[in-house]
Amino acid sequence: MRCKVHVVLVCESGGKTIPLARVADDALVDTVARTAIAAATARADEISKADVVLGALERAEARRLSDVLTELLPGITAAHVM
């Protein structure tokens, strides 16, 4: 399934989320997606150092994120993820 994906810049303050900008630039979306996958993978690696079971659960979440982004974005392929 391919669809148009946007990046939304928000400000969170006092429990409220305020949208500031919405950008549909494919290169930016691609960069944000790759960054999100890398951050999720790094988070799983860090958690694994303290707790192997929780780390495995976090890695599964990172894989799910990767799977979703791979499906939605034409520029993200299996070669680019974990």
pLDDT in tens, 17-47: 999 999 999 899 999 999 999 999 999 999 9
**Is residue 16 included in any domain, yes or no?**
no
The CA distance from 39 to 41, in Å, is 5
Our count of domains for the chain comes to 1
**Is residue 9 included in any domain, yes or no?**
no
**Is residue 19 included in any domain, yes or no?**
no
Structural domain range at position 71: 25-80
Q: Which of 10-14, 16-20, 24-28, 56-60 has the lowest mean pLDDT?
A: 24-28
Tell me the pLDDT band of 72, cut-offs 50, 70 and 90.
Answer: confident
Residue 13: partners with Cβ closer than 8 Å, 6 or more residues away: none
**Is residue 32 included in any domain, yes or no?**
yes
pTM: 0.81
Q: Give the residue, 13 or 75, on which the prediction is more confident.
A: 13
Closest to 69 (Cα-Cα) out of 80, 59, 58 = 80
